[in-house]
Amino acid sequence: MGQPHHPDPGDYPVTLMSNVRESLAAIEALPLPRTVRILNLCGDQERIISVSEMRRALPRQVELVSGPGCAASICPEADIHQAICLSERQPVTVLVADNLLRLPLSRGNGARRSLSDAQRLGADVRVASAPIHAVMMARAEPDREMVYFVAGFETLLAPLAGMVLEGLPDNLSILLCGRRVEPLVEQELHDETGDIDALLLPGNRCAVTGTRQWEKLSADFRRPAVVAGYTSPNILSAIHMVLQQHCNGEVRVDNLYRGLVRPEGNALARDQLDRVFELVAGDWRGLGAVQGTAFRMRRTYDVFNADRRFPDYRSELLPDAGGMPDGCECAAVALGRKPPLACPLFLVRCTPQQPYGPCMASDDGACYLQRTA
Ligand code: SF4
């Protein structure tokens, strides 16, 4: 028997509607029999959906579910603990992206800490908003040992891989929480835990990875999917397209991020990712380990790996490691199993000013983004 044919996303005609009103009217005209749950996987798309109040504008049968689109929200406690310990116990500067700074650590005894707390108590913790900034900061102080603590998906990891291949400054190493989301989504669809009907795929990430694996998932689990961009009209057009598929009983991956997304992805970026990282089982905070979801630096690049350069303090957290603060529903929120509003702490004990859980502490987290929903 031959291999099943998965058509290219470019094989189908697409209609990018020119404005929001036209898209909403087209969506309202669809014969939607019941609630359709569409999972999105990207913090940037969730930000546009939330800021534009798209959920309120859509018909009530269309449910936009925020999925695992924020790497910071699912960064394991053990990695946060490791970064805090390095900043406090080693003569190093910890460089960190904004969205990791306030991530709370629950130690099982009620005490909660973050890198921001460590900074306030005197540790040298500084914000580096992109890999290139971390390199520039390390170059500016060559006598100071620096660790770049970073969490992200392929869009962040591909440029990081390129910089590792070119060679980082001697005084810079990386503490990495890099994640690949496809195996996690496959697990969710297989278990049918989230009751998801369709997928809204991130244009920027698909531009790196391509759409082949999504085409397979879409076909295997009979879920229509669409690659979307980063404007309200584009996302609404994408929602319309995937709903059309759903109504017609069709299953494929449509592409509304044309010109940037090809089925095979970006060959150079994929090659760099592959040369620098290997995929291993990865812990998702509150969920446990999922095979093939963590990017780990290959041994060839040990010299840039903070885990090889410094002591490992993660075991101090065991056996409590991996959980969420008591009462926090972030693990369910991050997977799209529950909306932020279902958490009793949402905007009560957990606010942007005083975040209790990671989905509120990160500005890409679902609870933070939906605080005005
Ligand atoms: Fe966790 Fe706060 Fe979100 Fe509740 S509102 S799930 S405590 S981050």
User: Is 182 a domain residue?
Assistant: yes
Q: How far apart are CA 323 and CA 196, in angstroms?
A: 25
pLDDT given at position 4: 39
CA of 258 to the centre of ligand 1 (A): 36
Q: CATH number, domain at 173? A: 3.40.50.11740
Q: Which domain holds residue 336?
A: 330-365
**Based on the domain organization, do 271 and 142 belong to the same domain?**
yes
CA of 307 to the centre of ligand 1 (A): 30
Q: Tens digit of pLDDT for each residue in 159-185?
A: 999 999 999 999 999 999 999 999 999
Which residues, other chains included, contact 13 with Cβ-Cβ below 8 Å and sequence gap of 6+? none
Number of domains in the chain: 2
Which residue out of 66, 326, 345 has the highest number of ligand 1 atoms within 8 Å of its CB and is therefore the one to mutate? 345
Bond into 4 cis (ω within 30): no
- For ligand 1, whether the C-beta of 330 sits within 6 Å is yes
CA of 334 to the centre of ligand 1 (A): 10
Return the exposure string of 342-368: e unless at least 16 CB atoms fall within 10 Å of the residue's CB, then b.
ebebbeeebeeeebbbbbbbbbbbbbb
Q: How many percent of the chain have pLDDT more than 70?
A: 92
Q: Tell me: pLDDT of 111 over 70.
A: no
- For ligand 1, whether the C-beta of 357 sits within 6 Å is yes
**Based on the domain organization, do 86 and 225 belong to the same domain?**
yes
- For ligand 1, whether the C-beta of 361 sits within 6 Å is no
0.85 surpassed by pTM: yes
CA of 317 to the centre of ligand 1 (A): 22
Q: Tens digit of pLDDT for each residue in 113-150?
A: 899 999 999 999 999 989 999 999 999 999 999 999 99
**Based on the domain organization, do 283 and 343 belong to the same domain?**
no
**Based on the domain organization, do 74 and 33 belong to the same domain?**
yes
- For ligand 1, whether the C-beta of 343 sits within 6 Å is yes
CA of 333 to the centre of ligand 1 (A): 8
